[in-house]
Amino acid sequence: MTPVDSEMLDGPVERAAWIARHLGRLDQPELAPLSPEDAAELAAELRDDEYDAGTFLFRTGEPPNRIHVVRRGAVELSCALNGRPVVLQILRAGDVVGDVPLFLRTTEPFDAIALEDSRVLSIDALTFNRLLARRPQLAWRWMLSVSSRMANAQARLVELLAGGLEAQIALVLLDRADDQGVVRLRQSILAELVGGRRPSVNRVLKHLEAQGLVQLRYGRVQILDQPGLANLVGVDRGSATTEGDDVVLQRARRGDRRGPRGGQAGLPPQGAAAPS
């Protein structure tokens, strides 16, 4: 299914204001504030599309023809490793994708698929490059956005490499625990986030429970000894996803989620190949 142009849900002034506040999801947007003119010119060049749940924005190996900014919904970035799909990140409102391969003149390194009915703004590569050349403050904001994403990717890499599977799982649990130490996360999703297999993840969780560090319940993990769990890690915690992302991913893998317009997700079951 291809995206279709949608009616504007807000006017150019409102869209420009949203871009000024949310573009790149920077923790400190004041480091690179956009002028009203910067935001307005970018807003005027952005195409507004609706993607049904299960629709690909782009696929691995395709040329990066457009840069995408998620306006509403959730978009999964994933790739196949050893014949198995691995989730890299889940994009939310304000997140950008497609610009890095455009800058580097490489193909798309992963699949981007809407996890739920999503609204995505996009701009073609030529217009984007010309806009950055005319608007240095916008270029500075975009550089900070890329830098922030690279920092998150490095934190995610630390998660995946720090001390083996036990340390990786400990990192994810510590990152996603609420104020009561509860992690609402199924083991299948945890396995995807750490790049492991579910039986291996289950064995590690059982081992952590036997040590009195956690208590396992259906669909959640209760952390009993946070300092003890942190001792398994030995590094600062960082993550590219959130607990809310995990909930969306659970629904998508079950295939029982419908978007605002009632469209079936159409995602492949866990472990299955993506539709062609």
Residue 271 lies in a domain: no
Token reading at 245: 């992302």
Domain membership of residue 253 (yes or no) is: no
Alpha-carbon Rg of the chain, whole angstroms? 20
- Cβ 253 vs Cβ 270: under 8 Å: yes
> What confidence tens digit (pLDDT) does each residue in 69-99 have?
999 998 988 888 777 777 777 788 888 999 9
In a domain, 254, yes or no: no
- Asked if 79 and 142 sit in the same domain, the reply is yes
Structural domain boundaries, residue 183: 163-234
- Dihedral pair phi/psi, residue 217, rounded to 5°: -135, 165
Give yes or no: residues 114 and 151 share one domain. Answer: yes
Number of domains, the chain? 2
pLDDT of residue 8: 44
pTM: 0.62
DSSP letters, 168-214, are HHHHHHHHH--TTSEE---HHHHHHHHT--HHHHHHHHHHHHHTTSE
The span from the CA of 111 to the CA of 273, in Å, is: 12
Residue 257 belongs to some domain of the structure: no
CATH of the domain at 204: 1.10.10.10
In a domain, 251, yes or no: no
Looking at the structure, tell me whether residues 132 and 193 fall in a common domain: no
Q: How far apart are CA 230 and CA 223, in angstroms?
A: 11
- Residue 52 forms part of a structural domain: yes
**231-244 residue pLDDT tens:** 887 644 444 444 45
Q: Which of 159, 187, 220 is the last residue of a domain?
A: 159
171 and 154 fall within a common domain? no
HEC profile of 14-68: HHHHHHHHHHHHCCCHHHCCCCHHHHHHHHHHCEEEEECCCCEEECCCCCCCEEE
Q: What is the pLDDT of residue 109?
A: 92
Average confidence score pLDDT of the chain:
78
Same structural domain, 30 and 143: yes
> What would the pLDDT profile of 120-146 be if each residue is shown by its tens digit?
999 999 999 999 999 999 999 899 888
Q: Is residue 131, in this structure, part of any structural domain at all?
A: yes
Distance of alpha carbon 170 from alpha carbon 241, whole angstroms: 15
| 269 domain-assigned | no
